[in-house]
Chains A and B, each alone.
Chain A
Amino acid sequence: MIKINNLTKKFTGVKGIFDVNLQLEKGNIYGLLGPNASGKSTLIKSIVGVYLPTKGTIEVDNESKRDIRKTKISYMPDMLDFPNTKLIDIVNLHNNLLEDFSKVRLDQLLAQFNIDLSLKFKTLSKGQKMAFRLSLALAREVDYYILDEPLSGIDPVIRKMIITEIITSIDTTDKVLIISSHELNEIDLLIDYAILIKNGGVEGVYDIDEIRSETNLFDWYVDKFGSTV
């Protein structure tokens, strides 16, 4: 379980997150939803240990040490570039540095995405770059995965493939997945709960089935945020 207690992260002159409390339980996939600059990425970066909290604690399996969180969580950042590097070298680096890295799973993922390891990162299309970065994150055998905007800025066919691979490559029965996204029409079958972030705080955590028994995620979201976007 990930337990976030009274988490605040302040920046000088920039918005942050304020007094966030959340409990994320194994077996669930959470969608982190909210307008741009609402605090989604700040929350993610605080959970994975990129940012030090101004206040509050983050526990993963009852451990709050930042280093332990980094080893327990596989994190796909929203931006990551590997200039002039061959994919095979990036993969070998991950394989050597991370004990939980599964080369077998990575190869399966890259085969699905039709990505050849002899290529250089900079020669990949935007969608392939995303698929490659996602594959690196999903190839780790851990209990916690946080994917920051895995569907953003890529064409619909690759988005569909990415959703399929997230579902099929890892058994989430006893894992926690957190996925931030604006692609509400596509993420709705991928998540069990929607966490709404608004003005640097958690507006609420909603069961996707309660939303779908009334309407669809897209309309529900626009209703919720219509006046603030």
Chain B
Amino acid sequence: MIKLRKDKVAYIQIGIHILKRISSGDLLKDEPIGTIRSLSKDYVVTTKTIQKAVDYLESKKAIDRKQSLGIFVSVSMAEANEILREHALALTREYIKDLESIGYQDQATNLIKGVKNND
């Protein structure tokens, strides 16, 4: 379903992938996203990893777990987008911190532009 990176925690990658599916309209609000077991098969990861991904999405209030019925989307496309944006901001803050730690203050924007232009 997605190629998971080996040097990153799997459950967050899966959680983000599900959020992307919601924000793109592939999964709609109040729609079921499957069960722990079915998601484990879909992503070919352990049920424990899926449980953690579901916990993560629940902590972001993006899904609802309904006893015996399964797991349902509880946010709109726009709300899912907002959660993704927060995640992107957190990644950016990490990135800026990393840059600052090697002496590059306030240069993130220029560095990104430079890399993009070279590509």
Partners in one complex: yes
Hey, which bits of chain A sit against chain B, CB under 8 A? 27-29, 163-164, 167-168, 171-173, 185, 188-192, 209, 212-213, 215-218
The answer for the CA separation of A209 and B48 in the assembled complex, in Å, is 11
B44, A192: Cβ atoms closer than 8 Å:
no
Residues of chain B within 8 A (CB-CB) of A185 are 6
Asked, given contacts A173-B37, A189-B4, whether A167 binds B45 with beta carbons under 8 Å apart, the answer is yes
The answer for the CA separation of A185 and B45 in the assembled complex, in Å, is 14
Asked, given contacts A173-B37, A188-B6, A209-B10, whether A27 binds B52 with beta carbons under 8 Å apart, the answer is no
Q: Is B112 an interface residue (CB 8 A)?
A: no
Asked, given contacts A167-B40, A173-B36, whether A212 binds B48 with beta carbons under 8 Å apart, the answer is no
Residues of chain B within 8 A (CB-CB) of A212 are 6-10
The answer for the CA separation of A171 and B41 in the assembled complex, in Å, is 9
Residues of chain A within 8 A (CB-CB) of B7 are 212, 215-216
Closest Cβ of chain B: how far from A224's Cβ, in Å?
A: 16
Asked, given contacts A171-B37, A173-B37, whether A216 binds B6 with beta carbons under 8 Å apart, the answer is yes
A167, B46: Cβ atoms closer than 8 Å:
yes
- The residue among B6, B9, B36, B52 with the most chain A CB atoms within 10 A of its own CB is B6
| A-B contacts, 27 listed (Cβ < 8 Å) | A28-B48, A29-B46, A29-B48, A163-B44, A164-B44, A167-B41, A167-B44, A167-B46, A168-B40, A168-B44, A171-B47, A172-B40, A172-B46, A172-B48, A173-B36, A185-B6, A188-B6, A189-B4, A189-B10, A189-B44, A189-B45, A190-B45, A192-B49, A209-B52, A212-B9, A215-B7, A218-B6
The answer for the CA separation of A52 and B88 in the assembled complex, in Å, is 55
Closest Cβ of chain A: how far from B67's Cβ, in Å?
A: 15
Q: Is B11 an interface residue (CB 8 A)?
A: yes
Residues of chain B within 8 A (CB-CB) of A192 are 46, 48-49
The 7 tightest CB contacts between A and B, nearest first, are A216-B6, A216-B7, A192-B48, A168-B41, A173-B47, A209-B9, A212-B9
Closest Cβ of chain A: how far from B43's Cβ, in Å?
A: 9
- The residue among B4, B7, B8, B45 with the most chain A CB atoms within 10 A of its own CB is B7
Closest Cβ of chain B: how far from A41's Cβ, in Å?
A: 23
Query: Which of these, B6, B9, B44, contacts A217 with CB under 8 Å?
Result: B6
